[in-house]
Amino acid sequence: MKARIALLPGDGIGPEVCAEARRLLELVAAEGGHAFTLEEGQIGGCAIDATGDPLPAATVALCERSDAVLLGAVGGPKWSDPDAPVRPEQGLLRLRAQLGVFANLRPVAPHPAAIRLAPLRSRLLRGVDILFVRELTGGSYFGARRREADAAVDETRYSVAEIERVTRVAARLARQRRRRLTHVDKANVLETSRLWRSTVNRVMREEFPDIELEHVLVDAMAMHLLTRPARFDVVLTENLFGDILTDEASVLAGSMGLLPSASLGAGRVGLYEPIHGSAPDIAGRGIANPYATLLSVALLLRHSLGLTAEAERVERAVGAALDAGVLTADLSRRGAVSTRKAGEAVLDHYRHLARQAGR
Number of residues binding to ligand IPM, judged by CB under 6 A:
4
User: What are the residues facing 273 on neighbouring strands?
Assistant: 261
Residue 218 to residue 243: CA distance in whole angstroms: 12
Q: How far is the CB of 177 from ligand IPM (least distance, A)?
A: 22
Which of ligand IPM, Mg ion, none does residue 92 bind (CB under 5 to 8 Å by kind)?
ligand IPM
Task: Write out the E strands in the chain.
Answer: 2-10, 35-40, 68-73, 103-108, 130-135, 145-148, 151-154, 180-185, 212-217, 234-237, 260-264, 270-274
173 Cβ contact list (under 8 Å, min separation 6): 105, 131, 133, 234
Among 49, 53, 89, 344, binds ligand IPM (CB under 6 A): 89
Judged by beta carbon, residue 187 or residue 275, the one nearer ligand IPM is 275
For residue 39, give the 3-state DSSP assignment: strand
Catalytic residue among 11, 67, 158, 186: 186
Site track 226-265 with Mg ion (rule: CB under 5 A), x = hit: -----------------x----------------------
CB of 230 to ligand IPM, least distance (A): 24
Active site residue: 185, 243, 272, 330, which one?
243
Indicate the pairing of strand 260-264 with strand 103-108: antiparallel
Name the DSSP letter for residue 6: E
92 binds ligand IPM (CB under 6 A): yes
Q: Would you give the DSSP letter of residue 230?
A: G
3-state SS assignment for residue 256: helix
Scanning residues 142 to 171, which ones bind ligand IPM (CB under 6 A)?
A: none
Q: Does 243 bind ligand IPM (CB under 6 A)?
A: yes
> Which residues have a catalytic role annotated?
141, 186, 219, 243, 247
Residues that bind ligand IPM (CB under 6 A): 89, 92, 243, 275
Residues that bind Mg ion (CB under 5 A): 243
